[in-house]
Structure 1
Amino acid sequence: MPYIKIEVTREGITREQKNELIKGATDLMVRVLHKDPAATFVVIEEVDTDNWGWGGESITDIRARQR
């Protein structure tokens, strides 16, 4: 029973995009590992940009500098 966790920053990901990620991740498990799609779980967690850092800075600060 595969469990797939996808973490993204909370920056406007749509319901349609989430559905596509869920379907794509499930299809990948079916194709590569021959897993049953009914037993494959996909969780998408949206993380606030204040809580996601890269290179010693929060994504919030990086995005602000890029504007």
Structure 2
Amino acid sequence: MVVLKVTLLQGRSLEKKRELARLLTEMVARRLGEPKEEVRLILYEVPKENWAVGGVLMVDREER
């Protein structure tokens, strides 16, 4: 079994997350020789007010 954990900013559509799940699962299954059913994916979505780059919150970077 393989478990992938992906942390990303909130705001992506359900369709984009579905596509990400499909592509990552296919890639890992192919590269590691695991059945797709043995690949798990956990998406951690972080609000922009809880993510900073260079000391600036992402929510504030968008306002510039």
TM-score in terms of structure 1 length: 0.87
Unaligned runs of 5+ in 1: none
More strand by percentage? 2
What is the match of residue 46 of structure 1? 45
Number of aligned residues: 64
Which structure 1 residue ranges, 4+ long, deviate > 3 Å from structure 2?
A: none
Unaligned runs of 5+ in 2: none
Q: Percent identity?
A: 27
CA distance in 1, matches of 2:28, 2:54: 32
What is the match of residue 29 of structure 1? 28
What is the match of residue 9 of structure 2? 9
Kindly provide the CA deviation profile for residues 11-33 of structure 1, in whole angstroms up to 9, marking residues without a partner as x: 2x111111101111100111111
CA RMSD of aligned residues (A): 0.9
TM superposition shift of 1:56:
1.1
